């Protein structure tokens, strides 16, 4: 307190000495040897700059001394007085997007891109992982394909591939380097056994009708085009001729983020801890009570801190990926009676998937596609130095623990390598050089995305549950969600089949080509 009083006296004493940014007139008295032998006065015009600089230096030094004294008094605390955390989110926002992965940033970009009026819509993106070291986006295999069985997924892939091919027309930023997505359009090659060949033919017809460029290969044609493949057991193959391959996931995420922030989107690293909402009770014709909720604010807890910031908002977008189901429970979704509307939870949970990097100097060359064997094992080329990434989804009964992202290397030895070497004999001799694990936002209902507003929360929109293909569909899904919010309906693609309605009516949209 003594230090503060001294500082206050200094300010009060100097308050009249200068006015910020103004001129001051200083009277200087000196004796002149004139004939009258008297005193004369010379007036000197000054900006007061030197005096102000000295004062500010003294003020800064006293503030530093006070901080040090406070810190010495609280040796176990990193708290400092007179500091405002610059990382706190704003107190108000029009739209809060929970999840700063590629899906969240795509939605943020399209919201600003489609903004029609004052260009002052405040969009806040909240991300819990500032390093992105555990983000599903950057831990994926980075593939994009049109070979789905559902029209919605095929159209999402076509639109997203078109966006990626012309990405600098959308996401370039003035005075920044152009986006190099490293889009390698080597195609996907699906292999089918005799038992499922008829399904591949059906999917092929659907894909061609939707505008996808794919081709069917017989066993002999596969061997002629890719002689390094062991075609034993292969009855039919489907090959993507364009708009399929792989790209760098981090580059796509960062391009969306960079562009969105240049358009005014606000980024905050924190974790959503709670929602404040109001409730309106309604009754159905059957006499069932329904609680309609409206979110009023989002509580953002700062990372590694006791600080938090309530953010008042008009609506919330749940793009929290694998953890979007848990986020929904904070508003009571799924916590009601099981036989009621409020009892339907968001069926999304984390599922861990391993990705292994192997080195094989004699492996497939530049013509190697993203190969999906009918056993479920996949691989693709990684660069030009004989490196490949590979993996397989485990059986339902063998799903690994999701409490961490540790890699099970025995899983490669038992489940991946034998099938991989059987399909590509060159892989009998390889070396695992690295590996990682990431989370799918796995939709346990039908392994497809959930897009749209929740029926009981009239200002919470969802973009989640894509079960492994969210990254490749993020450009098109982001635009679709922005259309729902700003236009009130889908404009470019009709994705109404991916809404919550199918969950409430228990009508799954099952995709036959899940990898």
> Residues of the chain with pLDDT > 70: what percent?
85
- Asked which of 173-182, 283-292, 332-341 is least confident by mean pLDDT, the reply is 283-292
In sequence order, which residues have a C-beta less than 8 Å from that of residue 412 and are 6 or more positions away?
354, 356, 432, 435
Q: How much is the average pLDDT of 278-300?
A: 90
Compute the radius of gyration of the chain from its Cα atoms. Answer: 31
254 or 52, greater pLDDT: 254
Residue 320 sits at the vertex; the CA angle it makes with 331 and 84, to the nearest 5 degrees, is 85
Alpha-carbon span 124 to 131, nearest angstrom: 18
What's the chain's average pLDDT? 88
- The answer to whether 152 and 127 have CB atoms below 8 angstroms apart is no
DSSP 496: G
At 74, is the pLDDT very low, low, confident or very high (cuts 50, 70, 90)? low
Burial 237-254 (b: 16+ CB within 10 A, else e): bbbbeebbbbbbbebbbb
The tokens 């032998």 sit on which residue?
A: 37
Residues 238, 240, 246, 252: what is their CA dihedral angle, to the nearest 10 degrees?
A: -130
pLDDT the model gives residue 38:
39
Alpha-carbon span 416 to 412, nearest angstrom: 5
At 341, is the pLDDT very low, low, confident or very high (cuts 50, 70, 90)? confident
Nearest alpha-carbon partner for 369 in 251, 228, 471? 228
Alpha-carbon span 317 to 242, nearest angstrom: 33
Q: Does residue 327 register a pLDDT over 80? A: yes
Q: How much is the average pLDDT of 478-502?
A: 96
Q: How much is the average pLDDT of 302-328?
A: 96
DSSP string, 150-218: SHHHHHHHHHHHHHHHTHHHHH--TTSPPP----B---EEEEE-TTTHHHHHHHHHHHHHTT--EEEE-
- Taking only the tens place, the pLDDT of each residue in 86-121 is 789 999 999 999 999 999 999 999 999 998 766 689
- Taking only the tens place, the pLDDT of each residue in 213-232 is 999 999 999 999 999 999 99
User: Could you tell me the CA-to-CA distances from 305 to 14, 73, 88, 308 in Å, in that order?
Assistant: 38, 20, 11, 8
pLDDT the model gives residue 290:
86
In sequence order, which residues have a C-beta less than 8 Å from that of residue 189 and are 6 or more positions away?
222, 226, 237, 238, 239, 240, 369, 370, 371, 372
> Residues of the chain with pLDDT > 90: what percent?
76
- Taking only the tens place, the pLDDT of each residue in 412-448 is 999 999 999 999 999 999 999 999 999 999 999 999 9
Q: Does residue 80 register a pLDDT over 60? A: no
Three-state secondary-structure class, residue 28: strand
Alpha-carbon span 242 to 146, nearest angstrom: 9
Alpha helices in 37-79 (DSSP H): 49-73
pLDDT the model gives residue 59:
72
The two three-digit tokens of residue 500, written as one number: 């919550």
62 or 235, greater pLDDT: 235
Domain 85-187+241-347+444-514 fold: FAD/NAD(P)-binding domain (3.50.50)
67 or 465, greater pLDDT: 465
Alpha-carbon span 15 to 30, nearest angstrom: 26
Alpha-carbon span 5 to 24, nearest angstrom: 28
At 84, is the pLDDT very low, low, confident or very high (cuts 50, 70, 90)? low
What are the residue ranges spanned by the domains of the chain?
85-187+241-347+444-514
Task: Name all contacts of 171-175 with Cβ < 8 Å and 24+ positions apart.
Answer: 171/109, 171/255, 171/256, 171/258, 171/259, 172/259, 173/258, 173/259, 173/262, 174/262
Alpha-carbon span 386 to 424, nearest angstrom: 14
At 336, is the pLDDT very low, low, confident or very high (cuts 50, 70, 90)? confident
- The answer to whether 128 and 270 have CB atoms below 8 angstroms apart is yes
Q: How much is the average pLDDT of 291-296?
A: 95
DSSP 247: -
Burial 13-33 (b: 16+ CB within 10 A, else e): eeeeebeeeeeeeeeeeeeee
In sequence order, which residues have a C-beta less than 8 Å from that of residue 355 and are 6 or more positions away?
139, 140, 141, 389, 390, 391, 435, 436, 437, 438
Q: What is the pTM of this model?
A: 0.84
At 512, is the pLDDT very low, low, confident or very high (cuts 50, 70, 90)? confident
- Taking only the tens place, the pLDDT of each residue in 259-275 is 999 999 999 999 999 99
At 286, is the pLDDT very low, low, confident or very high (cuts 50, 70, 90)? confident
Q: Does residue 11 register a pLDDT over 60? A: no
pLDDT the model gives residue 287:
78
- Asked which of 20-24, 81-85, 368-372, 507-511 is least confident by mean pLDDT, the reply is 20-24
- The answer to whether 228 and 371 have CB atoms below 8 angstroms apart is no
User: What are the φ/ψ torsions at residue 198 (nearest 5 degrees)?
Assistant: -65, -35
pLDDT the model gives residue 77:
57
pLDDT the model gives residue 469:
95
Residues in the chain: 515
pLDDT the model gives residue 81:
52
DSSP string, 89-155: PPSEEEEEEE--SHHHHHHHHHHHHH--SSS---EEEEES-TT-TT-TTTTS--EE----SSHHHHH
- Taking only the tens place, the pLDDT of each residue in 16-71 is 444 443 333 334 334 444 433 433 333 333 344 455 556 667 777 777 777 677 66
């Amino acid at each position: 307190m003594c230090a503060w009083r001294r500082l206050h006296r200094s300010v009060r004493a100097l308050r009249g000495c200068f006015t910020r940014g103004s001129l001051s007139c200083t009277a200087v008295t000196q004796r002149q040897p004139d004939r009258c032998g008297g005193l004369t006065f010379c007036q000197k015009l000054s900006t007061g700059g030197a005096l102000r600089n000295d004062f500010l230096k003294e003020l800064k030094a006293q503030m530093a001394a006070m901080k040090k004294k406070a810190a010495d008094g609280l040796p176990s605390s990193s708290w400092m007085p007179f500091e405002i955390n610059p990382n706190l989110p704003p107190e108000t926002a029009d739209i809060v997007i929970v999840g700063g992965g590629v899906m969240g940033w795509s939605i943020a970009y399209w919201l600003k891109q489609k903004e029609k009026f004052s260009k002052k819509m405040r969009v806040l993106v909240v991300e819990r992982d500032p390093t992105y070291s555990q983000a599903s986006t950057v831990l994926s295999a980075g593939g994009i394909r049109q070979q789905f069985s559902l029209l919605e997924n095929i159209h999402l892939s076509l639109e997203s591939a078109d966006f990626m091919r012309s990405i600098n027309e959308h996401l370039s930023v003035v005075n920044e380097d152009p986006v190099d997505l490293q889009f390698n359009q080597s195609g996907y090659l699906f292999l089918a056994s005799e038992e499922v060949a008829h399904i591949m033919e059906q999917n092929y017809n659907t894909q061609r009708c939707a505008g996808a460029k794919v081709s069917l290969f017989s066993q002999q044609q596969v061997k002629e085009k890719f002689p390094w493949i062991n075609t034993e057991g292969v009855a039919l193959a489907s090959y993507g001729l364009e708009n399929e391959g792989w790209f760098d996931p981090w580059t796509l995420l960062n391009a969306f983020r960079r562009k969105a922030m240049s358009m005014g989107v606000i980024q905050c690293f924190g974790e959503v801890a709670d929602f404040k909402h109001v409730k309106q009770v309604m009754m159905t014709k059957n006499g069932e009570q329904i609680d309609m909720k409206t979110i009023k604010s989002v509580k953002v807890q700062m990372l590694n801190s006791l600080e938090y910031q309530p953010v008042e908002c008009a609506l919330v977008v749940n793009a929290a990926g694998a953890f979007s189901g848990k986020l929904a429970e904070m508003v009571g979704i799924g916590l009601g009676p099981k036989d009621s509307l409020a009892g339907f939870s968001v069926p999304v949970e984390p599922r861990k998937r391993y990705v292994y990097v192997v080195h094989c100097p004699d492996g497939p060359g530049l013509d190697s596609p993203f190969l999906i064997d009918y056993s479920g094992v996949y691989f693709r080329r990684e660069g030009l130095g004989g490196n490949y990434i590979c993996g397989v989804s485990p059986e339902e009964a063998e799903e690994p623990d999701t409490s961490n992202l540790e890699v099970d290397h025995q899983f490669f030895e038992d489940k991946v390598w034998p099938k991989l070497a059987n399909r590509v004999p060159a892989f009998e001799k390889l070396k695992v050089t690295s590996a990682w694990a990431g989370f799918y936002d796995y939709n346990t209902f039908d392994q497809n995305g959930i897009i749209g507003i929740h029926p009981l929360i009239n200002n919470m929109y969802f973009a989640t549950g894509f079960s492994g293909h969210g990254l490749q569909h993020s450009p098109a899904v982001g635009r679709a969600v922005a259309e729902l919010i700003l236009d009130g309906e889908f404009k470019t693609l009709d994705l109404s089949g991916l809404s919550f309605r199918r969950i409430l009516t228990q009508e799954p949209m099952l995709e036959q080509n899940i990898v």
